[in-house]
Amino acid sequence: MRKSLTCLLCLFLFLVLCLTGCSSAPKAAKDVISPEAAVKELQQAVTNRDWDRVSSYFDVEFFLADTYDNSAREMSVVISQLHDRYPDDPFFWHDTEFMQQYALDHRDISLLFINRILGFYFSKAAPAANYDDNPESWLSGELAKIHSACSAEIQDIHMSDAHHAEVALSIKGDGSPYGNLADGITLKLAMEKQTDGTWKFTRITNIRELIFPVADKAEMFWTLQGWQ
């Protein structure tokens, strides 16, 4: 399989879902409105694969596009460092200008690809047996494996004011190959209080510091699948 920005971004998506969905924390009481309650509600919704509930906590289209644009930008800035880190990976044999244009050219198809993975994941349908049969369906199955091999907890919630917060979520794997794909990652998400008092997640705030850890995890994923 050709390594691409799309697949690295899919791993970002894996992390988003794992970190917000792996916790075994009980569902928050409906009369509790707080960032912590929103996190726990979302964790339960992802565990149940309840798309309607999950999408009520995000502007999904904006969230995915923002993640794509920011991660593509940050990756293009450090592409030479990624090449030094992984000199045998052809995807990192390019310069900043190439990566910027690549991300722009592949933006629409990459976001469609990610949305299709989400669709298969939340449909609860059995995934394809292998990548070539149906890449998006198969990757949704890989996402489920990562989800079941991880646990997540709230590390910190910082309130910048009464209507804005940032939640830091840490993930731990169970020691299995799939658990190792997300173990040790910390994801930070911006949250905004809505007019009805509920909280929504707006964007990933620490993409820059995630680039190298996520690249490392992506390389682990290629090795696990025998794609190296």
Q: Is residue 203 part of a domain?
A: no
Range of the domain at 24: 5-148+208-225
Burial (Cβ within 10 Å: 0-12, 13-18, ≥19) of residue 132: exposed
Q: Is the pLDDT confidence value at 22 over 90? A: no
Segment 140-158 shows an average pLDDT of 90
Q: Is residue 115 part of a domain?
A: yes
Q: Is residue 68 part of a domain?
A: yes
Residue 219 pLDDT level (bands cut at 50, 70, 90): confident
Which residues fall within 8 angstroms of residue 28, CB to CB, at 6 or more apart?
A: 36, 37, 38, 40, 41
Which residues fall within 8 angstroms of residue 151, CB to CB, at 6 or more apart?
A: 22, 23, 24, 171, 172, 174
Q: Give pLDDT, residue 1.
A: 39
Number of domains in the chain: 1
Q: Give pLDDT, residue 29.
A: 47
Q: Is residue 110 part of a domain?
A: yes
Q: Give pLDDT, residue 19.
A: 63
Q: Is residue 21 part of a domain?
A: yes
Residue 147 pLDDT level (bands cut at 50, 70, 90): confident
Q: Give pLDDT, residue 47.
A: 86
Q: Which helix (H) or strand (E) holds 160?
A: strand 150-161
Q: Is residue 161 part of a domain?
A: no
